[in-house]
Amino acid sequence: MPALVTLTGRLVRLEPLAPHHVVGLAAAGAHDRDAFAYTPVPQGLDEAADYVAHAVAAHASGTGLAFAVVSVAQDRVLGSTRFTRFDYWQGPLMWPIAHGLPSGDPLLATPDAAEIGNTWLTVRARGAGINLEAKLLLLSHAFEAWRVRRIALRVDVRNMRSRSAVERLGATSDGVRRAHSRGLDGEVRSTAFYSILDEEWPAVRATIERELAGSLLNA
């Protein structure tokens, strides 16, 4: 399973989600709940504690690696993001095929493909380069440390803000799966899928760095 790691930039520090983040997560999720229509965001201390417990359990089972998004300047939790849906392609072909599981020592394995998702930020941290730098840190780690071949992202088709943000990164649309699942509001949602391949990463990185520089300049 991917090892716990802290990723640090100029604006944010991505720390593996842990119990000491519960209070900060609850505070970050307390503002403007209407802005969290498409992504699960804990409300209150009890939900934040459950959120962290599920994230810790997902890492223990090798199915996720969640982070608290922490402001470098203020040392304050701003939200959360994570890697999930790991695929492992190393080693000889085995039968029956066990999708999503490493073929060797799981403690040493790194994924060949993964998904970034469950990203949310307190409303006060939006539009300040926070999400851009968080994505840069995650993608850099995936493509340059893990050497993944693909990173996937998925968005509720109704969430135009997030779809536009993903498309500005330079991610490629893989289409829309209609009537894909049930949304947080109880309605059946369609899902837009995107991906970034390893050969596309240098161009995507340049795009993110250019966008981030502009955000910092205008801050």
Q: Each residue of 152-184: pLDDT tens digit? A: 999 999 988 889 889 988 999 999 999 988 877
Residue 97 domain flag: yes
Residue 201 domain flag: yes
pLDDT computed for residue 114 by the predictor = 96
Record the pTM: 0.90
Number of domains observed in the structure of the chain? 1
Residue 1 domain flag: no
The per-residue DSSP string of 68-116 comes to EEEETTT--EEEEEEEEEEE---SS--SS--TTS-SS-TTT---SEEEE
**Amino acid identity for residue 44 in this structure:** G
Range of the domain at 167: 7-218
Q: Provide the CATH number for the domain around residue 13.
A: 3.40.630.30
The backbone torsions φ and ψ at residue 52, rounded to the nearest 5 degrees and listed phi first, read -70, -40
- Going by pLDDT thresholds of 50, 70 and 90, the confidence category of residue 145 is very high
Residue 26 domain flag: yes
